[in-house]
Structure 1
Amino acid sequence: MTQPITELSTRAREVFRMVVEGYLDSGGPIGSRTISRFGGLNLSPASIRNVMQDLEEMGLLAAPHTSAGRMPTEGGLRLFVDAMMQANAPTDEERAAIEAQARPGPVEEALAATSQLLSGLTASAGLVLVPRSEAVLRQFSFVSLGHGQAVAVLVGADGSVENRVVDLPPGVSAGALTEAANYITERLGGLTLAEAQARLADELAQGRSALDKAAQGLVARGLAVWSEDGSRRPVMIVRGQANLIEGADAEDLDRVRQLLGEIEGKEEIARLLDSARGARACKIFIGSENKLFALSGSSVIAAPYHDAAGRVVGVVGVIGPTRLNYARVVPIVDFTAQTLTRMMA
């Protein structure tokens, strides 16, 4: 369990802060002589070593090898981020660059550009969980292929046309295909897939549907094709993975490779980002606090963005090593989420 900040003496708190800030800046362990040169403590290197030893026993610092230097544990980083970090607001130039990407036009293009910029600003990989695009039905038809298959054709309210091959139950007639397609177009047109499925279930439960059993099955199967397909579509944009390699020390390359594999999977990372939807501002996941990063020792900083009605429609963030510059990255991610919210309004 992380030590409460109130249990640290003023001297221990200052030494701890210097170790963490030095580590985040350099990436390596910080020794007592280095801290003594920072000034302001009026402590000898020997006294600083004693304080560092106490902090190590509390589980806040660790010695990575035989050197006298210390670096923060994941618990120490969590304490620093939650209770000690002084955030640095984005510069005017950074704000202008972020706002320039969230411009009118195709939403996904703006989100991809924002993710790329966020990656560059933070020297990490930029992540954007995009709004799930729900197709709105305008017209639906089945075209028989014979041999127990048909093409389901969906025309969306935006004019898009999508085709999917579906397997048919044995003995389905051409009349049943026509009946099912007409029902979807006439009764479910103007609804999203989720709304259409809910209305179908309600009408069947209330006995209001005039469909026969064969047509009922076809309608359900036709709607399910797009629902299942939509749930498998990537909902996360990732940019800047190369930053993770370029910023890694030789001994960290194995962890970076592990992280790149985790990013490649996308599904688990997307679920992690999705868990930040309920956050009021930035949510920070540090290392093995999340099982996904138990091996790579990575951190994610994420914040939700909203539509004009105030509903959360996505999450934006960055992923990188636990040695992120949290004081700088957290405000940048937070400002990016606010900018995307304004774009969605």
Structure 2
Amino acid sequence: MLDKRSLVLLKTLVERYIAEGQPVGSRTLSRYSGLDVSPATIRNVMADLEDLGFVTSPHTSAGRIPTPRGYRLFVDSLLTVQPLPSEAVQALESKLDTSDPQRLIASASRLLSDLTHFAGVVMAPKRSTAVRHIEFLSLSERRILMILVSTDGNVQNRILIPDKAFSATELAEAANFFNQNYAGRTLDEVKQAIQDELKALRQDVIALMNAALEAGSAALSEAEDQCVLSGEGKLLEVQDLSANLDRLKRLFSIFEQKTELMQLLALGQQSQGVQIFIGGESGVMPLDECSLVTAPYEVNGRVVGTVGVIGPTRMAYDRVIPIVDITAKLLSSALSYH
């Protein structure tokens, strides 16, 4: 436990370092903290905070900077966040593209990036793979166009090349049979049904159905981008990150693979509100110089995804947090309306 004086000095140090990007010395702390204490007392407190792992001294300066542990105490206990005024919320809402869910999610990611000047990320809801409707159109003797519409309105086209030629009448009968018996069921359910229930169908029709289901599964999987990332190039302009090429390579490798990022966003989805991952403390993103601020969003009261901002640990958390929070709320409202 730190006493009040130590907490005030730590808060002042983090705020000055975020604002100026330079190690903070005792003279600056004396000027901005509002405490009536001597420089010697401040130096002693700083030494104690360094021993406890909250601050550290760069080799090139007598001043100190916060560690990930210092940032953690700051955001958990010392940070004051003001909600965005209503006119700012309305301005944000007007910038979201609500024409369809996919554009809405992409515009939310861009909005997060534009407002914070860092990378914006949205973990999209997992699409339904249930089929609403299927059609087969003959393109030539052995080429068939499959049109598959999922229950979330996603339309995918694929070319099928079966072993047997089918007439237009046969293709229409196969599509009608599918739509009458299996519309609204998932592709996996239909696959199982074809194996168990369709003994009476001709084997060549079953083969056509199986080919259509495999192509449909692949099409919907390709269309499903579960992590929409925007503005990662803005991080090249952040000196804390761009000063180290190896650090940048690791960060952009995380962006490219998306696996670790998805794991972090999944953790954020489990929280009740804004959650902050600082440096490598999550055990997922291994960069001490990066933080991720996330908030879950809902559709009709059910949490389906996460929005977030990725930036340096030296970010203005009091500004980023309300932006992430209100974007999640606006996205929830817009998706629920859809």
Report the TM-score range of the alignment, normalised by the length of the smaller protein: 0.7 to 0.9
Query: Whole-Å Cα distance in 2 between the matches of residues 332 and 229 of structure 1?
Result: 35
C-alpha contact 1:197 1:220 (8 A) present in aligned 2: no
User: Which residue, out of 205, 221, 224, partners 2:214?
Assistant: 224
User: Which residue, out of 117, 121, 125, partners 1:127?
Assistant: 121
Matched residue, 1:97: 91
**Deviations 1:299-340 (CA, angstroms, capped at 9, x unpaired):** 111112222x21223322211111121122111110111111
**Deviations 1:160-184 (CA, angstroms, capped at 9, x unpaired):** 753335686xx77859x96865543
Instruction: Say whether residues 1:153 and 2:146 are aligned partners.
Output: yes
Matched residue, 1:286: 278
Query: Whole-Å Cα distance in 1 between the matches of residues 311 and 241 of structure 2?
Result: 16
- Which aligned pairs between 1:143-222 and structure 2 lie closer than 5 A? 151=144, 153-156=146-149, 162-165=156-159, 183-189=177-183, 191=184, 195-201=186-192, 204=195, 210-211=200-201, 219-222=209-212
Matched residue, 1:304: 296
Matched residue, 2:323: 332
Shift of residue 93, structure 1, vs aligned partner: 4.5
- Which aligned pairs between 1:80-91 and structure 2 lie closer than 5 A? 80-91=74-85
**Length-normalised TM-score, structure 2:** 0.82
How much identity, in percent, do the aligned residues show? 35
C-alpha contact 1:287 1:296 (8 A) present in aligned 2: yes
Change (3 A) 1:334 1:144: same
User: Which residue, out of 327, 332, 338, partners 1:341?
Assistant: 332
User: Which residue, out of 237, 256, 269, partners 2:261?
Assistant: 269
**Deviations 1:47-97 (CA, angstroms, capped at 9, x unpaired):** 111111111111111112242211111122112212221112224453222
- Greater shift after overlay, 237-246 or 210-219? 210-219
Shift of residue 227, structure 1, vs aligned partner: 2.6
Shift of residue 17, structure 1, vs aligned partner: 1.2
User: Which residue, out of 235, 247, 252, partners 1:260?
Assistant: 252
Query: Whole-Å Cα distance in 1 between the matches of residues 6 and 288 of structure 2?
Result: 30
Matched residue, 2:109: 115
Matched residue, 1:318: 309
Shift of residue 35, structure 1, vs aligned partner: 0.3
Structure 1 gaps, min length 5: 1-6
SS at match of 1:293: coil
CA RMSD of aligned residues (A): 3.2
Q: Aligned letter for 1:280?
A: Q
Change (3 A) 1:52 1:298: same
Change (3 A) 1:26 1:214: farther
Q: Aligned letter for 2:10?
A: F
Matched residue, 1:239: 230
**Deviations 1:15-38 (CA, angstroms, capped at 9, x unpaired):** 111111122222232111210111
SS at match of 1:288: coil
Query: Whole-Å Cα distance in 2 between the matches of residues 65 and 145 of structure 1?
Result: 73
Shift of residue 102, structure 1, vs aligned partner: 3.2
Q: Aligned letter for 1:69?
A: G
Matched residue, 2:18: 24
**Length-normalised TM-score, structure 1:** 0.81
Shift of residue 231, structure 1, vs aligned partner: 3.1
Shift of residue 277, structure 1, vs aligned partner: 2.1
SS at match of 1:323: coil
Structure 2 gaps, min length 5: none
Q: Aligned letter for 1:266?
A: K
SS at match of 1:95: helix
SS at match of 1:64: coil
Matched residue, 1:59: 53
